[in-house]
Amino acid sequence: MTKLLASVKDKHEALMVLNAGVDIIDLKNPDQGALGALRYEDIAEIVALVNGAGITSATIGDLPMVPELIVQAMQSTAETGVDIVKVGFFPSARSLECIEAISALNQNGMKVVAVLFADRHPDFGLLDHFKHAGFFGVMLDTAGKDGRHLLDHLPLSKAGVFIEQAKALGLVSGLAGSLRLDHLHVLKPLNPDYIGFRGALCDEADRKLALCDTRLQTLKSMLHKNNIAMQNAVHA
């Protein structure tokens, strides 16, 4: 059953998402890029507010693929108590170095989700390396926030290949990337573990504005109905 990830930028939004029963409360700064990071003290404050009532994740920022920088940011983020740490993998000759450096953190119990970007020539061959390094999961997102969405950058069939490959490796899988509410019906049949939203849940569908509770409740209802329909189809 596909679950919902919603990205929030402050305590007010986190509480709204928590009360709505969203499955993963994703902490990020939408003013600082695709994976913009909140201040560590803000992450810690939100994690304390959630207090184990929901799963939290946090991004480390759009960092260059330099192992030392990434590991330092991941450690500082994990120290806030957040459940999952998300790290972006941009095209780089140093990707495998970064994976190797992160593997030690995975072995120490950190849950890490790698994020690949549909608009940055994602290398699905890295999924095998993520698995062997002990990563918790993988997501497919978009780096550019210019009004184009995930499926503007790669065909639905390729997103399906990503999900199938992740599941075969035992990695938790997710799809995101400037998705609209109506993308739910298109992506849900691929059966990702999570579908992530930010902009579609905000006032005027602008990811930099505040979350809108009406939009959030609409999406929750759509996902619930879609999950029930798929379950009924399986048992028909």
Active site residues: 28, 86
Task: Report which residue type is found at 219.
Answer: L
Q: How far is CA 223 from the centre of its chain?
A: 17
Return the closest-CA partner of residue 84 out of 48, 102, 111, 60: 111
Report the residue count for the chain. 236
Dist CA 173 CA 21 (whole Å): 20
The string over 49-62, giving b where at least 16 C-beta atoms fall within 10 Å of a residue's C-beta and e elsewhere, is ebeeebbbbbbbbe
How far the first Cα of the chain sits from its last, in Å, is 17
